[in-house]
Amino acid sequence: MRPTTPAIAEAMPAGIGDAWRAARQRIDRLDARLLVEHVAACTHAELLAHPERLLSAAQTGELAALVARRARGEPLAYLLRSAGFHGLEFAVTPDVLIPRPETERLVELALERLPAVPAPRIVDLGTGSGILAITLARHCPQATVTAVDLSPAALDVARANAARHGVAVRFCQGDWYLPLGDARFDLIVANPPYVADGDPHLRGDGLPYEPRMALTDGQPGGDGLACIQAIVADSGEHLAPGGWLLLEHGYDQADAVRELLRAHGLVEIASWRDLGGIERVSGGRSR
């Protein structure tokens, strides 16, 4: 029987090759392939070698729904519930920001600055999916890593990612340093919300699907620096002597962040560029 309505057509079993062809009429070719592989639980090689492999009616319906969501602008990472960062795969949900490649710069800078002590103490403020804490713990197994987030839902995602990557990270719920008592650290890292209120970027390119609290500080008319300011202001109470504070920030915030670091007594202040040539991470050291 021939399908008579699009709804029925979408539920008709199809081969994975045909499904890929149909999907890429509507969305980017690579996104289409990754969604087909995700729904069919197949590899790229299987897709190429066995395009005739059938999807069940349920899989065909699931794929149609995911393609429609992607076509409306929902980020691929939320549809796949996974994203790569620094060579590892992380679970992501709409409760957490999707990892960005520029944040990998922060990992590199942090690893270069870990002191050669037996158990360096690291804290990741606003950990989200846990990428910074977990990647640093993987690269520095002797470190004691703590990760803080205000969002219990984000912490659930981060805990699952830590378990997946076999690292012991202590997770704390709360506002920046609040759950840490008077603990001090050799390294503080953060990729805090820093997008200015009203930045048109917030309305485009998938950002409306990401948690607002991970992108902006929620201050009407704010310049996006409130969280960075809070983190820098109290860093003196939580850095060990000689400890580093490294922060990711917006494309036009490096001068302001260096000024904040200076005003709060940090030394060896510098900014570093991301792969796009934009000053994206700034930091300083406690005396």
Where on the chain is the footprint of ligand GLN (CB under 6 A)? 97, 100, 191-195, 201, 207, 215
Cβ closest to ligand GLN, residue 120 vs residue 250: 250
User: Could you tell me the smallest distance in angstroms from the CB atom of residue 247 to ligand GLN?
Assistant: 10
CA angle 154, 159, 163 (to 5 degrees): 150
Cβ closest to ligand GLN, residue 39 vs residue 196: 196
Cβ closest to ligand GLN, residue 144 vs residue 209: 209
User: Could you tell me the smallest distance in angstroms from the CB atom of residue 214 to ligand GLN?
Assistant: 6
DSSP 271: E
User: Could you tell me the smallest distance in angstroms from the CB atom of residue 244 to ligand GLN?
Assistant: 19
- Tokens for 140? 């520095």
Cβ closest to ligand GLN, residue 146 vs residue 191: 191
**Residues 155-190 as b or e (16 or more Cβ within 10 Å = b):** bbbbeebbeebebebebbeeebbebbeeeebbbbbb
Neighbours of 132 (CB within 10 A): 31
- Tokens for 47? 């897709």
In angstroms, the CA 103 to CA 105 distance is 5
Inter-residue contact 26 to 56 (CB < 8 Å): no
User: Could you tell me the smallest distance in angstroms from the CB atom of residue 97 to ligand GLN?
Assistant: 6
To which H or E segment does residue 165 belong?
Answer: none
User: Could you tell me the smallest distance in angstroms from the CB atom of residue 280 to ligand GLN?
Assistant: 8
Helix, strand, coil share (%) of the chain residues, nearest 5: 40, 20, 40
Cβ closest to ligand GLN, residue 171 vs residue 194: 194
Cβ closest to ligand GLN, residue 201 vs residue 262: 201
- Tokens for 273? 């560029």
Contacting residues for 193 by C-beta, under 8 A, at least 6 apart: 126, 213, 214, 215, 216, 217, 224, 227
User: Could you tell me the smallest distance in angstroms from the CB atom of residue 144 to ligand GLN?
Assistant: 25
User: Could you tell me the smallest distance in angstroms from the CB atom of residue 105 to ligand GLN?
Assistant: 11
Cβ closest to ligand GLN, residue 192 vs residue 243: 192
